[in-house]
Amino acid sequence: MEATYDPGLLIVTLIAALAPLAMELPARFRPPIVVVEILLGILIGPHVLHWASPDGVVGTLGQLGLTFLLFLVGIEIDVWMIRGRLLALAVGGWFLSFLVAMACTLLLSSAGLIEAPPLLAAIALSTTALGVLSPILKDSGEWNTDFGGWLLAAATMGEFAPMVFMSLLLAPTHPTVLHTLFMLFFVAVSLGSAYVAFHMLSSGTLARLARTMEGSGQLPVRLCVLLQALLVALAAQIGLNVVMGAFAAGMVVGLVSRDEPGNLLRQKLDAIGYGFLIPIFFIGVGMRFDLEALWSGPLVPVQIIVLLALFLLVRGAPVVLYRAELAPADRLPFALYSATGLPLIAVIAELGVSSGLMAPQHAVVLLSAAMLTVLLFPALALRLRREREIA
């Protein structure tokens, strides 16, 4: 049997290796690496240079990259940090965002300015890119400040809640009672996995397993990958979306890897995800990006501008709940940071198209507006914060 090789994979891995070079640009010209990967994917894809296709091996690796991205997002969520008033404001703020998003999308959909399904569009508008904001807050020194704490709690809810809603929306249709039982069964298995992991942690088993990461065994890494595959397979079998399985696996791993030995495990998982699989997913998103759809009608530029304003309105609305916590000068930066939302929106667009809930041309418009939020909003928020410190 003759082995076959997809030449497009060489191009994709080359692009994945070149994308981090953008991080060497001066800070004011430095785009987030997710944007660079998508832009380079557009360039090499079937709509521009025709060098590679998001199918075959590249497509399979991209799907693995999607599940690993959501797995790592689940790991990032620190449930121990978000409690009390932090949790109350984050939850209340997200539900306020979602209500504003639903009202706006229904209104604009009836006016013909937004053609995506209102519920799916509302979920996308109410997201916040925790993975994009985390390094920005760390680099700017905001991570351990009061402002950073409020923002991280809001951003965590801005990823967790849309993930749950998206999984429910994209799940195959079942009778309500049956679907509820499936959800409860999935939650029970996830909690059972967390209990077993905690028992291993308290008994010192994980510390002994950690020693295998010094050699070729890498048992903790393999167990994490096994847990992810297990919950993804379970979610698929009982009719939930696979994104829920990957996300739940990440939260379980995140709960038991907060201590010092867990740092090495996280680094290795980050290396697999951000060093290999996740760039292929975002490059694949770019390759599926149809540039011609941006000029398919006179309303497309207007739709992108409207969506950009909606991101800021929807995720900025919860600022009214933070009047006692945030100084007036901090409220606009808080809204700008909260409205940054590309990675999860790319996932929503991808799953929306594959499930038939969203037309490809509508996904292009949504993704274009989301890329602008990442390019513009954090930079403007950071500038406003720095100007306040100087003043």
- Using one digit for the tens of pLDDT, what is the confidence trace for 300-316? 888 888 899 999 999 99
Listed as ranges, residues in the chain with pLDDT below 50 are 1
Domain boundaries, the chain: 31-390
> How buried is 307 (Cβ within 10 angstroms: 0-12 exposed, 13-18 middle, 19+ buried)?
buried
Distance CA 364, CA 289 (A): 6
Distance CA 229, CA 279 (A): 20
pTM higher than the cut 0.85: no
- Tokens matching residue 190: 């996830």
The listed CATH number (3.40.720.10, 1.20.1530.20, 3.30.110.30, 3.40.50.620) that belongs to domain 31-390: 1.20.1530.20
Instruction: Give residue 1's pLDDT.
Output: 42
- Tokens matching residue 231: 């919950």
Instruction: Give residue 11's pLDDT.
Output: 93
Residue with tokens 């080359």: 14
SS3 track for the chain: CCCCCCHHHHHHHHHHHHHHHHHHCCHHHCCCHHHHHHHHHHHHCCCCCCCCCCCHHHHHHHHHHHHHHHHHHHHHCCCCCCCHHHHHHHHHHHHHHHHHHHHHHHHHHHCCCCCCCHHHHHHHHCCCCHHHHHHHHHHHCCCCCHHHHHHHHHHHHHHHHHHHHHHHHHCCCCCHHHHHHHHHHHHHHHHHHHHHHHHHHHCCHHHHHHHHHHCCCCHHHHHHHHHHHHHHHHHHHCCCCHHHHHHHHHHHHHHCCCCHHHHHHHHHHHHHHHHHHHHHHHHHHHHCCCHHHHHCCCCHHHHHHHHHHHHHHHHHHHHHHHCCCCCHHHHHHHHHHHCCCHHHHHHHHHHHHHCCCCCHHHHHHHHHHHHHHHHHHHHHHHHHHHHHHHC
Q: Name the CA dihedral angle for 307, 310, 312, 318, rounded to a multiple of 10 degrees.
A: -150
Overall size of the chain counted in residues? 391
Instruction: Give residue 277's pLDDT.
Output: 92
Residues 6+ apart with CB under 8 A from 42: 48, 286, 287, 289, 291
Q: What is the pLDDT of residues 28-84, one digit of tens each?
A: 667 778 888 888 998 999 988 999 998 889 999 988 988 898 888 788 777 667 778
Of 163, 152, 131, residue with least CA distance to 32: 131
Instruction: Give residue 232's pLDDT.
Output: 87
Instruction: Give residue 204's pLDDT.
Output: 62
Per the CB < 8 A criterion, the answer to whether 21 and 38 are in contact is no
Residue with tokens 């680099």: 139
Angle, in degrees to the nearest 10, between helices 56-76 and 342-354: 130
Per the CB < 8 A criterion, the answer to whether 189 and 231 are in contact is yes
Instruction: Give residue 260's pLDDT.
Output: 65
How far from 202 is each of 109, 191, 206, 344, CA to CA, in Å? Answer: 53, 16, 8, 34
